[in-house]
Amino acid sequence: MTALEGIQILDLSYQGPGPFCTAILSDLGASVTRINPPPGAGARQAAGESGTREAACSASNRNKRSIFLNLKSEEGRRIFRLMADRTDVIVEGFRPGVVRRLGIDYETVSQTNPGVIYCSVTGYGQDGPYRELPGHDVNYISFAGVLDLIGEPDRPPVIPLNLVADYGAGGMSAAIGILSAIIAREKTGRGQYVDISLTDTTISLLTQVLLDPYLATGNAPRRGEHALSGSYPCYAVYETKDGGFISLGCLEPWLWESLCREIGREEFILYNMTRARVPEEEPKWQEIREHLTQLFLTRTRDEWFEQMRDKNIPIGKVLSLEEVFADPQVLHRGMVMELEHPTEGTVRQAGIAIKLSDTPGRFRSFASLTGEDTDEVLRGLGYTASKIEELRGAGVI
């Protein structure tokens, strides 16, 4: 048994947060059907797999079915409403107003399925002056104040891939919102609308570390000056002899003390994260950083890690992706799955991150090729083979 076994989800979302949200839920047991516009339907293609190898290696679309459906056609919308009447959750990532114009919005669907949970994932939310503004992760983290804080002082901001708004904030928040609505439905018997803004959810990531202190004191942190941005030598990245890098995370005084004693510089112990950095002491901070910079250049990355890993020192190897998938901790935690594909042989996928003791998530099927399950789904709705071919000829599927 899986945690979300029996939960039916229709996924209308495109690349990024929506598919990531439904990937989390499908790994936990939900039955997800991706709805993609047919080729040539004049719409953007949703994220999907067009080749067998791509599908075999796809963790984001495993455990999901995929159908073609032209929602710009009346018959396509009728098929969608038939599916929607039988589903628990709908996820969409169109701009605000699009699903209403198509007649597949929450208000319409909930009339015949009052228990449906309908999640919209957009850049700025369903209302407000920016609701119609197009964008991507870099834009949302800009408006949320995150991009301005990442990088070194007196240099341009550094773009942190699209991990913050799309995945860390938006996709996970959408999954949390849907799961919360499922729990609420158990109490009320009603579904509800879940409005996820990537900008809103990115702002929420700032609260404990940055936003709360700013709102309390009025002192806004500046790029590269926050304690967790690398401005302190005890929480930073250092190059090693072999051109690799190690990360230090000695935030607590006792962890910093462990490092200082290990390298034989007990006089540095006093200069931990709890000590205020005042201008007259800046030369000492620079001395500590320079000493660590030169010290770590004397040995390789792996040598430093092996020396310090058992000394109560938070040290990490900065791994490449190739190294991540060979790391003993990653392998032990099952974050690399080796699976046997019927035509592609042994393939690897990222593992399931959420570990549940009684109802663990599991791999059930490889990702479908885009549109591969169209006929099967329509047969389940009562369509005959001749009708399916008619719909295909008309460009509905």
Per-residue model confidence as pLDDT tens digits over 264-323: 999 999 999 998 888 889 999 999 999 999 999 999 999 999 999 999 999 999 999 999
Q: Is 356 helix (H, G, I), strand (E, B) or coil?
A: coil
Token representation of residue 39? 């080729």
Do 50 and 168 lie in one domain? The reply is yes
- Measure the CA–CA gap between 157 and 92, rounded to whole angstroms: 31
- Residue 191: Cβ within 10 Å count: 22
Do 339 and 388 lie in one domain? The reply is yes
Reported as a pLDDT band with limits 50, 70 and 90, residue 224 is: confident
Q: Is 49 helix (H, G, I), strand (E, B) or coil?
A: strand
Residue 357 lies in a domain: yes
Do 144 and 177 lie in one domain? The reply is yes
Q: Give the residue from 99, 104, 146 showing the smallest Cα distance to 122.
A: 99
- Measure the CA–CA gap between 8 and 117, rounded to whole angstroms: 11
Per-residue pLDDT tens over the stretch 315-351: 999 999 999 999 999 999 999 999 999 999 999 999 9
Q: Give the residue from 396, 372, 385 showing the smallest Cα distance to 66.
A: 372
Q: Which of 136, 226, 291, 341 is catalytic?
A: 136
Do 139 and 264 lie in one domain? The reply is no
Per-residue pLDDT tens over the stretch 171-184: 999 999 999 999 99
Per the prediction, the chain carries an average pLDDT of 94
Do 126 and 36 lie in one domain? The reply is yes
Q: Is 147 helix (H, G, I), strand (E, B) or coil?
A: helix
- Measure the CA–CA gap between 281 and 262, rounded to whole angstroms: 24
Residue 16 lies in a domain: yes
Ramachandran bin of 97, using left for φ above 0, alpha for ψ from -120 to 50, beta for the remaining angles = left
Do 66 and 121 lie in one domain? The reply is yes
Range of the domain at 361: 8-205+333-393
Is the per-residue pLDDT at 48 higher than 60? no
* CATH classification at residue 27: 3.40.50.10540
More reliable by pLDDT, 209 or 32: 32
The pTM for the full model equals 0.93
Residue 15 has phi, psi (to 5 degrees) of -60, 145
More reliable by pLDDT, 305 or 152: 305
Residue 275 lies in a domain: yes
Q: Is 383 helix (H, G, I), strand (E, B) or coil?
A: coil
Choosing from 317, 346, 368, the residue where a domain stops is 317
Q: Which of 137, 166, 200, 373 is catalytic?
A: 166
Residue 260 lies in a domain: yes
* CATH classification at residue 293: 3.30.1540.10
**CB neighbours of 365 closer than 8 A, spacing ≥ 6?**
62, 63
Choosing from 291, 317, 343, the residue where a domain stops is 317
Do 22 and 153 lie in one domain? The reply is yes
Do 154 and 280 lie in one domain? The reply is no
Total domains present in the chain: 2
Do 201 and 65 lie in one domain? The reply is yes
Give the residue ranges of DSSP H helices in 218-316.
253-262, 282-296, 301-308
DSSP codes of every residue in 293-325: HHHHTTS-HHHHHHHHTTTT--EEE---HHHHT
Reported as a pLDDT band with limits 50, 70 and 90, residue 43 is: low
Do 156 and 260 lie in one domain? The reply is no
- Residue 319: Cβ within 10 Å count: 15
Do 34 and 182 lie in one domain? The reply is yes
Least confident of 9-18, 74-83, 213-222, 252-261: 213-222
Q: Give the residue from 292, 308, 300 showing the smallest Cα distance to 240.
A: 300
* Helices 17-27 + 172-188 axis angle, to 10: 60
The yes-or-no answer on residue 166 being catalytic is yes
State the Cα angle at 108 between 105 and 109, rounded to 5°. Answer: 80
- Measure the CA–CA gap between 98 and 105, rounded to whole angstroms: 8
pLDDT for residue 161 = 93
Residue 125 lies in a domain: yes
- Measure the CA–CA gap between 242 and 24, rounded to whole angstroms: 38
Instruction: Give residue 16's identity as a one-letter amino acid code.
Output: G
Residue 303 lies in a domain: yes
Do 282 and 344 lie in one domain? The reply is no
Per-residue pLDDT tens over the stretch 99-142: 999 999 999 999 999 999 999 999 999 999 999 999 999 999 99
Residue 327 lies in a domain: no
Residue 218 lies in a domain: no
